[in-house]
Amino acid sequence: MAAALVPAPPFLRPGEAGTLAHFVTLADHGGMPLIVYDVPYRTGQPLSVGTLTALGRLPGVVGVKYATGAIDAATVELLGCPPPGFAVLGGDDVVISPLVAAGAHGGILASANLRTADYAELISLWRSGRGAPARRLGAELARLSAALFAEPNPTVIKGVLHAQGRIPSPAVRMPLLAAATSSVRRAASLAGGRARHGSEV
């Protein structure tokens, strides 16, 4: 299903009531389903579980990309009782495995541009209750994600995709600078392997 990924209003920090009003307007007039992007370290506007729950009850708001930088009591509360039809999707790549283990529906992950099938397998393993191979694969993919985010995103990812011949250029727009060759090489070495956890029990 197509949906628009929309962050909480950045820079202005309108407060949670203002953020909720903003999404009410978008849901009423936007013309397509919305996924709230909860990324306070970029927007400056944290959203409480109460606000996320209220957003999840709005017609047209179908989920949240949850990228708060932590798995904490608020995360556990949100995952314990999300509104019906409201998908909680991980947005912090390094911790996607424990987040899905705790009940997240999946993720929207920059790292999944690489080893995409392994990220899909990770979700499938957790959903099927196969914790041991899921934890091993999750730890492996966390190392990849950490390497990909060693410099400002998406510089390393673009460097690796270019090195693999999958995009024509690693160029990024200012004020971002191209990733260091050493960062790209390290991430590429982790991206090159394909985990084989599917047959493990």
Considering the domain 4-108 in this protein, what is its CATH number?
3.20.20.70
Q: Which conformational region is residue 22 in: left (phi greater than 0), alpha (psi within -120 to 50 degrees), or beta?
A: alpha
**What are the structural domain ranges in the chain?**
4-108
Q: Reply yes or no on whether 158 is catalytic.
A: no
Determine which one of 65, 66, 119, 158 is catalytic.
65
Q: Reply yes or no on whether 37 is catalytic.
A: yes
Q: Residue 89 contacts by C-beta under 8 Å, 6 or more apart in sequence?
A: 35, 63, 64, 65, 66, 104, 105, 106, 107, 108
Digitized pLDDT (tens) for each residue of the chain, 201 residues in all: 689 999 999 999 999 999 999 999 999 998 899 999 999 999 999 999 999 999 999 999 999 999 999 999 999 999 999 999 999 999 999 999 999 999 999 999 999 999 999 999 999 999 999 999 999 999 999 999 999 999 999 999 999 999 999 999 999 999 999 999 999 999 999 998 654 444 343
Determine which one of 37, 66, 119, 158 is catalytic.
37
Helix (H) or strand (E) holding 88: strand 87-90
Pair 136, 200: CB distance under 8 Å? yes
